[in-house]
Every structure is written in C-alpha cells, then in structure tokens.
Amino acid sequence: MVNPKKLKKNIDILLADVKHSEMDAFIVLDGYEGTGKSFGGRGLGMYCATVLETTFDVKDIEFSTKEYMKNSLKGPKFKINVLDESRKALGKGKTRDWEVQKFLDYISECRSKRQIHILCLPAFHDLSKYLVLWRMGILIHFLKEYVEDDNGISDYKLVRGQFKAYTDQKSLNYCYEHPYQYPKKWDVWDRWSNKEVFTEEQLKAYNQKKDDHMNKKYLSQEKTELNNRHKAAFRRKLIPKLKLKGWTNSDLAELFECQRSSITADLQILSSGS
C-alpha cells in the first residue's frame, strides 16, 4: 500500500478530484528494471480502489495498450487501470505505430470516464508531450539502491522500493525536454511499503497473465515475420511479369498492399539476382 505520509497526501488530492469533480487521475511510475515499479503499481492500484470504494484485481492490470483501452472503455466510473511493463507500448518518435498513437490519444481524451490510470514504464520521457504537460498528476521515480550483503557475489545486493515523487509541473516540463533528467527537487524521497497487496493466488494469476502476454507477443511477431517473408517471395515471382505489362511501382504497391519502398527493394533484389 501507499506508506509515506506525504505521498499519500498527494495521491489523496488526486483521488478527491476524481471522487468529487469531473476528473480522472493519471499517475506515472518509472525507473530501471527491477526497482519495484510493478510492485508499486499493484500497491497504488489497491490503495486507490480502497479510497474510491471500488475493486482492484489482476483483471485490471494489462500488458498491452490494446487490451488496456478495451477494458477501460468498458469499465465503470472509478475503475482502476494499470499498464505494466509498457516499455515497447510507448515507444517514442518514429518507433510509434498507429496502435500506440491511438492509445496516447485515448489517454488524452478519456478524462470524462473518471477512472484511475497508472502507467509503469522505464522513463516518463517516453510519453507524449501533451500527457506530461497536461495529464500527469504525479511522477513516482523508482531508484536503484545497493546495500552491503556479505552473502552475495559482489558484497552488495539490489534493494527495491526507494523512490522520489515529483509534482512540480514546471520542473517536470523542463526535464522532459532533456532526456533522461529528473528534477533536482522532489516532493517525497522515501521507500515504498514492502507489503504485497495481492494474495498468493492473485500473484500466481498475475504472473501467468504476464507470461501469456509475452508468449503471445513474441510468437505473434515470429508468425508475422514468416508471413511477410512468404508475401515478399510471392511478390517477387509476379513483379517481373507485371512490369513487362507496364505496371508502375505505385500500381504494384496498391495491388500487394505494401509500401512503394517494398517494391523498390524487391526490384533491387531481383536485379542483383539474389
């Protein structure tokens, strides 16, 4: 749960706006892998549910933007939504695909649903500028902390849970423009509660859901790559015949439902005899 008093006060302010005004809450947890973001996200989700007198369970944690949006759209007022392990989901700049952009647009426009949105990701700089400037209520940055450990290989071990919380919008806006910096002043510097809010059964279901998502994600990518190779091989068989009939690269791209650059690449491969 949320332990430090000042952090609790900041969260309570956001929840009061959700409960008594036409607002939602957008909270970001970021930091290095293994520093406690997912653990913190579960604790924060459970605390928000307690204050808003609603529920929070494994079904409220998603690992893809598509499932997150679907469940949020179907969800009631005060629903708790957690996007976990969202490194790939929020790729910045040219790496963003249409699904990611759709998710960012949704988060920008869903305030009227009066829900709680908790995103766990490596760095808040990966969000769109609009979300950082106008939607992020608080940033909780988890830190790497090492303590002496005589039983370890290196005499030190990583301890999870230390964090800094930021709410000063001006400082956050400045640091957003200077990846990957964080404000020099913080609202809270403390350690997260070490109490696990999920039962053993819930944790088992959470880990299974996480594994299922990973398997689906990478097996789907492998299948897509294989299909793309088959499509390319099929195109290269037909392209020479169609070019002789006067088909342009634009015509071919439209026929095969691909980019013109793919047709150009196919022609280069054919001309080289590869």
pTM: 0.76
Q: If you classify domain 5-198 with CATH, what class do you get?
A: alpha beta
115-125: buried (b, 16+ CB within 10 Å) or exposed (e) per residue? bbbbbbbbbbb
Give which of 270, 234, 264, 236 is closest to 249, Cα–Cα. Answer: 264
Structural element, H or E, at residue 141: strand 138-142
Question: What 8-state DSSP symbol labels residue 166?
Answer: E
Q: CB under 8 Å to 110, separation ≥6 — which residues?
A: 24, 72, 117
**pLDDT for 224:** 57
224: left (phi over 0), alpha (psi -120 to 50) or beta: alpha
From edge to edge, which strands make up the β-sheet containing 162-166? 61-62, 80-83, 116-121, 25-31, 138-142, 162-166, 188-191
**pLDDT for 220:** 56
d(CA 60, CA 53): 15
**pLDDT per residue as tens, the chain (274 positions):** 565 678 999 999 999 999 999 899 999 999 988 899 999 999 999 999 999 999 999 999 999 898 999 999 999 999 999 999 765 556 554 445 677 788 888 999 999 999 999 999 999 998 888 899 999 999 999 998 888 877 767 777 878 899 999 999 999 999 999 988 999 999 999 999 889 999 999 999 999 999 888 887 766 555 556 677 778 888 888 999 999 999 999 999 888 888 888 899 889 888 887 5
Rounded (10°) angle between helices 260-272 and 249-256: 110
d(CA 56, CA 69): 17
Domain segments of the chain as ranges: 5-198, 217-272
Structural element, H or E, at residue 43: helix 37-51
**pLDDT for 94:** 41
